[in-house]
Amino acid sequence: GIPSVAVYTDPDRYALHVKRADESYNVGSDPLAGYLNPRQLVNLAVETGCDALHPGYGFLSENAELAKICAERGIKFIGPAADVITRMGDKTEARRSMIAAGVPVTPGTEGNLADLDEALREAERVGYPVMLKATSGGGGRGIRRCNNREELESAYPRVISEATKAFGSAEVFLEKCIIEPRHIEVQILADHHGSVVHLYERDCSIQRRNQKLIELAPSPQLSDEQRDYIGQLAVRVARECGYVNAGTVEFLVTPETGEYFFIECNPRIQVEHTVTEQI
């Protein structure tokens, strides 16, 4: 019974969501320009009388400015607050928050690297192999495994360049590379009254070029005790950052020792949420 307003660009004019919505509006011919203009989208929401705005799982879904503009214009943003998006989107800031909360993180730099010399020093301290990562990275971009000093020297300018082009930021950090871990992500859901639950885990260890290919739920690699523990860790992460709405907390689990390492929190719904819905 709630009327819905959809936006679309020219390539999506025949998309199913355009047909199903009560109202639909064209926001341009170019998807990037149309879907990445937060002020235009919020203005349209206000003009059409919307109470709330759902950002989906791409484009502006992790954009703190969109959440901020929604708050300024009296539109309910269906997602976490702008400051939470900012903190979770910055991977080094997220690492610091988790360390303070007692959540285990992969050994690495506390903040961003100043230059290649610092990267080489930190790699010696942490021990090779290491992962060089863009602070604002995601989607398998801005990340390189370095097995020795020579590979790090070669990868550093490449990651800087890739991060700048893809995310508009040249900031990078370094962490220990966990060899052949299980990649486990936990779906969380939190409300405005302080309630946080986890909806169990998905195993996304099957990947190609740092991109997830197959997600399994529940994970065949976890015992009931491990499943309960990693779920509670995810809830602790959500409570620590004041999370509201749906989100995903991602961990690496070592196969031999069963250690858990927080790697990031995605402050949005993911395409993989349908896997969780099935269970």
Tokens of 8: 């679309």
The sign of the torsion formed by the CA atoms of 58, 59, 61, 64 equals positive
* Residue corresponding to tokens 């939190």: 190
Known active-site residue 144: no
**Helical spans, DSSP H, in the chain:** 16-20, 31-35, 38-47, 64-73, 82-89, 91-100, 116-126, 149-167, 224-240, 273-278
Could you give the CA distance from residue 78 to residue 260 in angstroms, rounded to a whole number? 30
Dihedral Cα 36, 41, 42, 47, nearest 10 deg: 170
Residues 6+ apart with CB under 8 A from 128: 146, 147, 148, 149, 177
Terminal-to-terminal C-alpha distance of the chain: 27
Of 98, 169, 100, 101, nearest to 133 by C-alpha is: 169
Could you give the CA distance from residue 6 to residue 104 in angstroms, rounded to a whole number? 41
Residues 6+ apart with CB under 8 A from 91: 133, 135, 136, 137, 173, 264
Catalytic residue among 87, 95, 202, 268: 268
Tokens of 181: 């871990």
Residues with active-site annotation:
268
